């Protein structure tokens, strides 16, 4: 019996007195613990069991390295058969050895990867259809992505600054329009200028009391030929550090308690 260890899949093709099995991943003789070697381990275990049953009768099992299939007709054919097997095609049960008539062991790493990919795909769909996800999409059309995580991981940002930017981006910032919804303040008015609704847009773009502090944001935008808008401030990674400086300079939030205060 000859076992050729090569590409993913398994298909048994009788060849006179010799059979060939193409299964698993490329095998390293020095390490049989990798997940892709489960098929090879199964055959070694099978050889030991058959040797015990046969007693002193001769029995030989050869594990053969299969080189890269490109340009080698035999290996090209083995690769095609393996791909067919991976897609569900199989030889008839009568042609298969007894130990191959049951499902082959599943690669744990492949099973975990498939599960994580499926879970991530479902989460992405649910997030994009949620109210919060749709609002975030208006600020950054790549959401959900790792871009924002990289933005707030900027070493020039303090932990508090990263937290404030995240709150503003998710529209959960402790400004009066938000706090008033939970009766945490008596009014939604801006404590700095008295405007009726102190929301995120007012704080970042319109409050006249922060005109001087906002000037540096405008200069940064002009240098990069950008428009000073929420999409720019909260969606462009280049504005993370200037935005952090703006938040600190307004003194709109107390540093320790996180409560909203008038400058």
**pLDDT by residue (tens digit) across 114-133?**
899 999 999 989 988 988 88
Q: Binning pLDDT at 50, 70 and 90, where does residue 171 land?
A: confident
Kindly report, residue by residue over 224-237, the tens digit of the pLDDT. 999 999 999 999 99
Q: Binning pLDDT at 50, 70 and 90, where does residue 140 land?
A: confident
d(CA 21, CA 229): 62
pTM score: 0.56
User: Quick count: other Cβ atoms within 10 Å of Cβ 140?
Assistant: 18
Kindly report, residue by residue over 78-118, the tens digit of the pLDDT. 778 878 877 777 777 777 777 777 776 777 888 898 899 99
Sheet holding 2-5, edge to edge: 12-15, 18-23, 2-5, 62-65
Lowest mean pLDDT among 77-91, 154-168, 236-250: 77-91
CB 139 within 8 A of CB 236: no
* 212 pLDDT higher than 90: yes
Kindly list the domain boundaries of the chain, sorted by start residue: 2-104, 139-250
User: Quick count: other Cβ atoms within 10 Å of Cβ 169?
Assistant: 22
DSSP tag of 93: G
Alpha-carbon Rg for the chain in angstroms? 32
Please tell me the predicted confidence (pLDDT) of residue 48: 74
d(CA 117, CA 113): 6
Beta strands 12-15 and 18-23: pairing type? Answer: antiparallel
Lowest mean pLDDT among 21-35, 88-102, 161-175, 216-230: 21-35
CB 240 within 8 A of CB 151: yes
31 SS3 class: strand
């Amino acid at each position: 019996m000859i076992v050729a260890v090569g590409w993913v899949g398994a298909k048994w093709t009788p060849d006179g007195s010799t059979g060939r099995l193409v299964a698993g991943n490329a095998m390293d003789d020095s390490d049989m613990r990798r997940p892709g070697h489960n098929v090879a381990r199964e055959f070694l275990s099978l050889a030991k069991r058959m040797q015990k049953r046969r007693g002193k009768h001769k029995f030989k099992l050869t594990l053969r390295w299969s080189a890269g299939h490109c340009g080698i007709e035999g290996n090209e054919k083995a690769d095609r058969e393996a791909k067919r097997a991976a897609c569900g095609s199989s030889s008839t049960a009568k042609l298969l050895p007894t130990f191959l008539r049951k499902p082959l062991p599943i690669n744990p790493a492949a099973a975990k990867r498939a599960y994580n990919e499926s879970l991530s795909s479902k989460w992405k769909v649910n997030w994009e259809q949620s109210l919060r996800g749709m609002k975030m999409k208006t600020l950054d059309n790549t959401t959900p992505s790792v871009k924002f995580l990289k933005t707030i991981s900027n070493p020039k940002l303090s932990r508090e600054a990263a937290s404030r930017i995240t709150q503003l981006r998710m529209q959960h910032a402790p400004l009066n329009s938000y706090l008033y919804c939970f009766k945490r303040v008596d009014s939604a008015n801006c404590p700095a200028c008295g405007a009726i609704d102190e929301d995120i847009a007012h704080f970042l773009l319109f409050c006249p009391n922060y005109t001087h502090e906002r000037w540096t944001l405008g200069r940064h935008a002009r240098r990069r030929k950008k428009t000073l808008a929420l999409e720019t401030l909260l969606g462009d990674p280049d504005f993370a550090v200037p935005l952090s400086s703006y938040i600190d300079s307004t003194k709109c939030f107390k540093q320790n308690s996180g409560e909203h205060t008038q400058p």
